[in-house]
């Protein structure tokens, strides 16, 4: 979907500027357990917020945090299919012979094409008319696209009588010219640059295109990856929001970090209105942590920053000025624009989000490593025909993925695509674990219902009111503009599945050891824990 996301049954909690709690729940919604609530047993009138016209609403989501009786309300129009949900075949070998994967050849435009699939692949193209001509064949098998994200190179070898373009096409119909073949060719085409143009997880076609008649022989056409890559050297890090406490007692912060074998602390920037004394003391922390062989990253971000980035840029300029010639290890941006009230109906939010990342990168002028925090589901969010996570990774030096789960298999599953893209594009990836207390969330999904007898609620789009009431009390609509809805499903986000709060420090250490041993991508940078006080509060 463009400018929208699918949360696989989940939704977004309301943002609170004073707490990070709800923000961390947001990043953790993927697999939800059924919530067996009774049917609507009482009448409840709810006001729909926002300015969007409600005449095209097809789905309403109600989100109740803990024992909250008034929910956050999210309305959605008719959903466009997200191509990511199409299944893909992911080869397990280090090499994939594409000639063996091909389906039925089809000519491109008006061509006379002769193909011999008996190795080597022999293609004769007789061009007719003025349009480029060629042939294409499907990489899909049993309605599954080809997932080639784990490969590193495209190998192509053969001869051609005239220049030929070899192109890759994905499920979004995005195209990438892999290479221009001329004469005798033997090429290893890096897939990293092509991955910026097509989604390698969903390849559907390979095309051979020429502007003239061609006699082409391909001896080799395959995806390949090294049989072995350097193992990762992951580190530990902590998010820490209380910069005043860090300034008061930097030695304690450093001592705690070293005791936990951590190599990085990500510390909230001071407020723009803080005194020069606070800012100077903050800048001095970088020398303290450097002497302890710990990286200190300046951390900041808020959802409304996509419209008000100037204060952040002013803060970064102020910090860089205080640092003088001293190197600033890094800056991490944690915006979470999906927490804005206008999300998801405002389709410009992700455009403004990416623009803000570009602005901050420009303001840093290469003087610090630029890191951005993203939720895991950005890899399955298609924005302008591109996975949003990959668009972010194309802009930054590294990312930290809010992969909040207490099960190692789930952490690896929800972060796998970001890790694979990071390995291909040489972008380091940090994963994250949660240790703070979270609220239980209940979600009620209502969908449009045209049979009054089955409805659980009625929406008045003019008055912007949603009335939930028992079916026995429902009346036939008296006005044409009223819309009926039925409860489609109820789910719950259980905090114990997302956070280690209430568990032991040993549980977290076992998870860290497990993930360090199992994740083999060379660009796996390590694990960052949210947050330092939460971790220290665990039972020992």
SS3 labels along 262-330: CCEEEEECCCCCCCHHHHHHHHHHHHHHHHCCCEEEEEECCHHHHCCCHHHHHHHHHHHHHHCCCCCCE
**Separation CA 166–CA 321 (nearest Å):** 49
Confidence of residue 18 (pLDDT cuts 50, 70, 90): very low
What is the pTM for the complete model shown?
0.86
Peptide bond connecting 531 to the previous residue in cis, omega within 30 degrees of 0: yes
Confidence (pLDDT) at 130:
76
Per-residue pLDDT, 342 = 83
Q: 203 forms bridges with which residues in the sheet?
A: 146, 170
Of 209, 93, 95, 207, nearest in space to 153 by CA: 95
Segment 316-333 shows an average pLDDT of 96
- At 378-422, the pLDDT tens digits run 999 999 989 999 999 999 999 999 999 999 999 999 999 999 999
pLDDT for the residue numbered 37: 42
CA 286 to CA 303: how far, in whole Å? 27
Q: Which range (27-41, 148-162, 177-191, 507-521) has the least confidence?
A: 27-41
Q: Cα angle at 268 between 499 and 321, to 5 degrees?
A: 155
Residue for token pair 């190599």: 263
Residues 6+ apart with CB under 8 A from 466: 45, 46, 47, 48, 60, 73, 457, 458, 459, 460, 485
Question: Has residue 272 got a pLDDT over 80?
Answer: yes
Which residue's structure tokens are 């947050």? 531
- Asked whether residue 169 carries a pLDDT value surpassing 50, the answer given is yes
At residue 94's C-alpha, the angle toward residues 90 and 100, to 5°, is 70
**Confidence band, pLDDT 50/70/90 cuts, at residue 86:** low
Give residue 314's pLDDT.
97
Span of 86-95, 111-120, 381-390 with lowest mean pLDDT? 111-120
**Helices (DSSP H) in 345-433: which residue ranges?**
349-364, 388-393, 408-425
- What's the pLDDT at 365? 93
Which regions of 355-504 does DSSP assign to beta strands (E)? 369-375, 382-383, 386-387, 398-402, 429-434, 441-448, 457-460, 465-468, 483-493
Average pLDDT of the residues in 108-120: 74
**Residue 11 scores a pLDDT above 90:** no
Q: What is the pLDDT of residue 115?
A: 75
* Ramachandran region, residue 532 (left: φ > 0; alpha: ψ -120 to 50; beta: rest): alpha
Q: What is the pLDDT of residue 343?
A: 85
DSSP code string of 500-526: -TTSBHHHHHHHHHHHHHH---TTEEE
Query: Among candidates 458, 479, 466, which has minimal Cα distance to 50?
Result: 466
Domains parsed from the chain with CATH numbers? 21-83+439-493 (no CATH), 95-224 (2.60.120.260)
Percent residues over pLDDT 90 in the chain: 67
Q: Please compute the mean of the pLDDT values over residues 271-292 and round it to a whole number.
A: 97
Q: Which residue has the tokens 């990342």?
A: 357
Predicted pLDDT at 32? 35
Count CB-CB contacts under 10 A for residue 449. Answer: 18
- Site of tokens 């840029």: 313
Average pLDDT over all residues of the chain: 87
Which residue has better confidence, 293 or 453?
Answer: 293
């Amino acid at each position: 979907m463009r400018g929208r996301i699918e949360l696989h049954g989940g939704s977004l909690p309301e943002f609170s500027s004073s707490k990070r709690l709800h923000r961390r729940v947001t990043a953790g919604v993927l697999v939800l357990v059924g919530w067996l609530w009774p049917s609507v047993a009482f009448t409840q009138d709810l006001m729909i917020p926002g300015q969007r016209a409600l005449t095209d609403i097809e789905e309403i989501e109600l989100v109740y945090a803990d024992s909250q009786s008034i929910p956050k309300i999210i309305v959605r129009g008719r959903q466009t299919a997200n191509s990511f949900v199409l299944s893909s075949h992911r080869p397990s070998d280090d090499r994939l012979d594409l000639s063996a994967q091909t389906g039925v050849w089809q000519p491109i435009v008006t061509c006379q094409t002769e193909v011999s699939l008996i190795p080597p692949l022999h293609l004769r193209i007789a061009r007719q008319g003025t349009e480029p001509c060629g042939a294409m064949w499907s990489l899909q098998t049993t309605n599954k696209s080809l997932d080639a994200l784990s490969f590193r190179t495209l190998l192509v070898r053969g001869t051609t009588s005239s220049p030929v373009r070899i192109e890759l096409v994905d499920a979004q119909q995005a195209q990438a010219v892999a290479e221009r073949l001329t004469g005798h060719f033997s090429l290893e085409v890096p897939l990293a640059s092509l991955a910026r143009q097509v989604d390698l997880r969903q390849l559907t076609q390979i095309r051979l295109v020429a502007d003239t008649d061609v006699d082409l022989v391909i001896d080799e056409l395959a995806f390949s990856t090294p049989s072995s890559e350097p193992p990762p050297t992951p580190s530990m890090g902590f998010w820490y929001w209380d910069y005043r406490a860090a300034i008061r007692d930097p030695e304690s912060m450093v001592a705690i970090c070293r005791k936990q074998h951590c190599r990085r602390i990500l510390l909230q920037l001071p407020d723009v209105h803080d005194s020069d004394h606070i800012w100077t003391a903050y800048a001095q922390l970088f020398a303290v942590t450097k002497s302890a062989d710990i990286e200190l990253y300046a951390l900041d971000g808020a959802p409304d920053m996509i419209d008000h980035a100037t204060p952040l840029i002013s803060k970064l300029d102020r910090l860089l000025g205080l640092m003088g010639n001293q190197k600033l290890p890094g800056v991490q941006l944690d915006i979470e624009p999906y927490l804005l009230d206008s999300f998801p109906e405002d389709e410009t939010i992700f455009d403004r989000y990416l623009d803000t990342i570009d602005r901050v990168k420009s303001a840093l002028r290469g003087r610090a490593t630029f890191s951005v925090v993203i939720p895991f589901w950005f890899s399955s969010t298609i924005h302008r025909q591109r996975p949003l996570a990959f668009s972010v990774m194309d802009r930054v030096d590294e990312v930290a993925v809010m992969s909040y789960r207490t099960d190692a298999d789930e952490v690896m599953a929800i972060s796998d695509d970001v890790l694979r893209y990071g390995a291909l594009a040489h972008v380091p990836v940090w994963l994250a674990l949660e240790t703070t207390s979270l609220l239980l969330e209940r979600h009620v999904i209502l969908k449009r219902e045209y049979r009054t007898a089955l409805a659980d609620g009625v929406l008045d789009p003019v008055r912007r009111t949603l009335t939930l009431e028992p079916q026995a009390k429902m009346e036939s609509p008296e006005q044409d503009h009223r819309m009926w809805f039925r409860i489609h499903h109820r789910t719950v986000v259980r905090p114990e599945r997302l956070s280690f709060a209430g568990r032991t420090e040993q549980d977290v250490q076992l998870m860290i050891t497990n993930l360090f041993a199992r994740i083999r991508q060379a660009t796996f940078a390590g694990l960052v824990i949210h947050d330092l006080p939460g971790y220290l509060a665990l039972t020992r």
